[in-house]
C-alpha cells in the first residue's frame, strides 16, 4: 500500500514537490503491477512537528528535524560508528565533508525518518582513513600477535593462573577486532559507507557485529585486566591468601563469571530495537532501506529510564570504577616493588641467593604486569572520559555538538585497538621464557629449562641475583 503526498507537500518548494509526487506515482504503479505488500512512507519536511514521547536521550524515531544524534549509540565504546542517521536543520551548513553533504542532502528534504546510512552517521574524513585503511593492518597484526600469545600461554609448561588471565585477555582483544572487521571493510575500505543498509536482517546483523559483540568482548577484557591486577596484589601484598584465592580452578571460574556478566550486561541490546523496510527518495532515486525504532518493551519501561540505567551502569562499572581501581592497584604494586627491591639488595649483601632469586621472580612478574596495566590505562582513561561526557550531556540536557563527541569516540576507539598488539611486544621484550617458548614452537629451537619455575610465576633472565631485570609472565 502506497501513501501519497498530496496532503503532505503543501509546504514544499514546487520543484521538490513535483519530484516527490512523480516518484510516488511511479512507485505506486510499480506496486500495483507487482502486488507488492511493502509499505512506502513519505513524510513532509516539517520542523514544527513534535516527538511522540519526550526523552532526554535523542530518539532515533524523532519527528523533528534537528542537528541531533541518537545519544545512546554515540557513546558506544568499541569500533562503533553508531547506527542511526544524522539529521540536519535546513539552515545548518556544518557538514562533515563534501561526500557526506552530497549523500545526506536529499534525505534532509524528502523524509524525516531515520534510516541506516553510515555517511550520515560518522565524521567520514576521520572514519575512512582510520577504520578503512589503518584498521585492516591493525586487524592482521592483532590476530597474528594475539594468536601467538594464546598458543604459547596455553602450553602445559606455561600454565599458571596469571598466564590463564593473560590468555583470556588476548582472546577478548582479538574478538573485539574480529567481529566488526567485515562491516568495516565493506563500509570504509571498499567505499560503501554512503549507501543505505538493506534488508532489515542485514541492519540487525551489522548492529550486532559492529556494536554489541565488540562491546561485550571489550567489557570482558576490562574486567579481566582488573582481575589480573587484584590477583597480582594478592600475590605481592597478601601472600598467604594466594594459595586459597589464586589457584587455577578459582581463576578459571572467575574468568567464566566475567564472561557471563559481560554477555548479560549487553544482552538487552540485542532486543532494544526493531528493524523494518522503508522506501525513500535517495540520490534522486526511489530506494528501499531499513528503518529502526525502539522495541515495545523499551517504550513500556521508558526510554529515559532504560538508557539511563544502561549507561550509568556502564559508566560506573565498566569504565570509572575499574580505571580507578587499576590506578590504585598499580600504585600499591609499584610501592611494594620498591620495598621488595630494597629487601633484595639486603638479601644479596647477606649472600642469601635462594631467597634473593625467589624475590626477583616476584619482582619481575610484578614489573611486567604494571607495564601491561599502565598501557591499558593510557587508552582506557580517555574512553572513560568521553563516555562520562556523553552521560553528562544527555542527563543534564546541556547543548553540545555531538559531532565533537563522535570524533573523540573514533580516535579513542582507534587507539584502544592500536594498543592490542603491544602486549605481545611487552612479553617478547621482557620475558626470556616467552621468547624461548616462541622459538621452540615456531622456529624449532628447543630450549632446556635449567631451573624450575616457582608455583605462581615463570622464571626469566639470568639465574643469578645480580643480573637482568627481564620480567616474567
The pair phi, psi for residue 292, each rounded to 5°, is -145, 160
DSSP state of 319: I
Average the pLDDT over 135-159 and give the result. Answer: 94
Q: With respect to residue 26, please indicate whether it lies within any of the assigned structural domains.
A: no
Angstrom distances, CA of residue 241 to CA of 246, 247, 249, 295 = 8, 10, 15, 48
State residue 100's pLDDT score: 42
- CATH code where residue 287 lies: 1.20.1070.10
The pLDDT value recorded for residue 399 is 74
Phi, psi of 447 (to 5 degrees): -115, 135
Does some domain include residue 139? yes
What proportion of the chain, given as a percentage, has pLDDT over 70?
64
Q: What is the C-alpha to C-alpha distance for residues 411 and 165, in angstroms, rounded to an integer?
A: 27
Q: 39: which residues sit within 8 A by CB, 6+ positions away?
A: 1, 3, 277, 278, 279
| Contact by Cβ (8 Å): 101, 140 | no
pLDDT for 9: 40
For residue 104, which of 283, 232, 364 has the smallest C-alpha distance? Answer: 283
pLDDT at 448 over 60: no
Q: How confident is the model at residue 348 (pLDDT cuts 50, 70, 90)?
A: low
Confidence band of 239 (pLDDT split at 50, 70, 90)? confident
Query: Pick the residue with more confidence: 301 or 288?
Result: 301
What pTM, to 2 d.p., does this model score?
0.74
Alpha-carbon dihedral angle through residues 149, 152, 154, 160, given to the nearest 10 degrees: -90
* Cα 198 → chain centroid: 24
User: What pLDDT digit, counting tens, does each position of 13-28 carry?
Assistant: 444 444 444 444 444 4
Q: Is 102 part of a structural domain of the chain?
A: no
CB atoms within 10 A of CB 435: 18
Query: Can you tell me the distance from the alpha carbon of 289 to that of 278, in angstroms, rounded to the nearest whole number?
Result: 5
Mean pLDDT of the chain: 73
> Within the chain, how many helices (H) and strands (E) appear?
18, 2
Between residues 199 and 402, which one has the greater pLDDT? 199
pLDDT of residue 152: 95
pLDDT for the residue 20: 46
β-strands 273-282, 285-294 pairing: antiparallel
CA distances from 325 to 223, 246, 405 (A): 11, 19, 26
Q: Give pLDDT, residue 86.
A: 27
Cell numbers at 280, concatenated: 525513500
pLDDT value of position 449 = 46
Q: Give a yes or no: residue 4 inside a domain.
A: no
436 assigned to some structural domain: yes
Mean local confidence (pLDDT), 248-257: 97
Q: Provide the domain count of the chain.
A: 1
Indicate the pLDDT class of residue 283, thresholds 50, 70 and 90.
confident
Domain with 284 in it: 120-443
Backbone φ and ψ for 356, nearest 5 degrees, come out as -65, -45
In a domain, 468, yes or no: no
Among the ranges 3-12, 59-68, 265-274, which has the highest mean pLDDT value?
A: 265-274
Q: Is residue 32 part of a domain?
A: no
> What pLDDT is recorded for position 454?
39
Closest Cα to residue 372, out of 248, 226, 171? 226
| Reported confidence tier of residue 390, pLDDT bands at 50, 70, 90 | confident
Q: Which of 34-43, 237-246, 254-263, 358-367 has the lowest mean pLDDT?
A: 34-43
For residue 355, what pLDDT is reported? Answer: 55
What band does 38 get if pLDDT is binned at 50, 70 and 90? very low
pLDDT at 466: 36
Report the b/e string of 301-338 with b at 16+ CB within 10 A.
bebeebbbebbeebbeebbbebbeebeebbeebeebbe
Residue 197, domain member (yes or no): yes
Q: Given this model, what pLDDT does residue 394 score?
A: 77
Q: What is the dihedral of CA 349, 235, 158, 347, to 10 degrees?
A: 0
Phi, psi (rounded to 5 degrees) for 304: -60, -45
Amino acid at each position: 500500500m502506497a501513501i501519497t503526498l498530496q496532503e503532505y507537500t503543501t509546504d514544499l518548494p514546487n520543484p521538490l514537490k513535483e519530484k516527490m509526487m512523480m516518484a510516488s506515482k511511479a512507485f505506486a504503479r510499480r506496486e500495483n503491477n507487482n502486488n507488492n505488500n511493502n509499505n512506502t512512507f513519505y513524510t513532509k519536511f516539517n520542523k514544527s512537528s513534535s516527538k511522540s514521547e519526550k526523552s532526554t536521550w535523542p530518539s532515533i524515531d524523532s519527528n523533528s528535524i534537528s542537528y541531533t544524534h541518537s545519544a545512546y549509540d554515540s557513546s558506544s565504546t568499541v569500533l562503533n560508528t553508531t547506527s542511526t542517521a544524522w539529521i540536519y536543520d535546513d539552515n545548518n551548513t556544518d557538514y562533515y565533508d563534501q561526500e557526506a553533504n552530497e549523500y545526506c542532502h536529499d534525505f534532509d528534504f524528502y523524509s524525516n525518518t531515520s534510516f541506516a546510512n553510515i555517511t550520515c552517521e560518522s565524521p567520514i574524513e576521520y572514519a575512512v582513513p582510520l577504520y578503512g585503511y589503518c584498521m585492516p593492518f591493525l586487524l592482521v597484526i592483532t590476530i597474528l600477535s594475539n594468536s601467538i600469545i594464546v598458543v604459547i600461554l596455553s602450553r602445559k609448561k606455561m600454565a599458571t593462573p596469571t598466564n590463564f588471565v593473560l590468555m583470556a585477555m588476548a582472546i577478548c582483544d582479538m574478538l573485539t577486532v574480529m567481529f566488526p572487521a567485515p562491516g568495516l571493510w565493506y563500509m570504509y575500505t571498499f567505499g560503501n559507507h554512503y549507501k543505505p543498509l538493506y534488508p532489515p536482517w542485514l541492519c540487525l546483523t551489522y548492529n550486532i557485529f559492529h556494536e554489541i559483540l565488540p562491546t561485550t568482548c571489550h567489557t570482558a577484557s576490562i574486567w579481566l585486566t582488573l582481575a589480573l591486577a587484584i590477583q597480582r596484589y594478592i600475590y605481592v601484598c597478601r601472600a598467604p591468601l594466594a594459595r586459597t584465592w589464586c589457584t587455577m580452578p578459582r581463576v578459571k571460574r572467575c574468568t567464566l563469571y566475567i564472561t557471563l556478566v559481560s554477555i548479560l550486561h549487553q544482552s538487552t541490546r540485542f532486543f532494544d530495537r526493531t528493524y523494518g523496510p522503508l522506501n525513500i527518495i535517495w540520490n534522486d532515486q526511489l530506494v528501499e532501506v531499513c528503518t529502526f525504532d525502539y522495541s515495545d518493551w523499551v517504550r513500556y519501561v521508558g526510554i529515559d529510564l532504560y538508557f539511563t540505567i544502561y549507561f550509568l551502569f556502564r559508566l560506573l562499572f565498566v569504565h570509572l570504577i575499574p580505571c580507578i581501581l587499576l590506578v590504585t592497584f598499580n600504585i600499591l604494586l609499584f610501592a611494594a616493588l620498591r620495598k621488595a627491591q630494597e629487601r633484595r639488595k639486603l638479601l644479596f649483601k647477606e649472600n642469601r641467593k635462594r631467597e634473593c632469586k625467589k624475590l626477583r621472580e616476584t619482582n619481575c612478574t610484578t614489573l611486567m604486569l604494571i607495564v601491561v596495566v599502565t598501557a591499558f590505562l593510557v587508552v582506557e582513561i580517555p574512553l572513560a572520559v568521553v563516555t562520562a561526557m556523553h552521560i553528562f550531556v544527555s542527563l543534564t540536557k546541556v547543548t553540545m555538538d555531538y559531532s565533537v563527541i563522535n570524533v573523540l569516540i573514533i580516535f579513542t576507539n582507534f587507539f584502544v585497538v592500536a594498543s592490542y598488539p603491544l602486549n605481545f611486544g611487552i612479553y617478547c621484550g621482557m620475558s626470556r621464557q616467552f621468547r624461548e617458548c616462541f622459538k621452540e614452537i615456531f622456529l624449532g629451537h628447543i630450549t632446556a629449562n635449567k631451573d624450575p619455575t616457582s608455583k605462581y610465576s615463570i622464571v626469566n633472565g639470568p639465574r643469578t641475583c645480580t643480573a637482568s631485570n627481564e620480567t616474567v609472565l
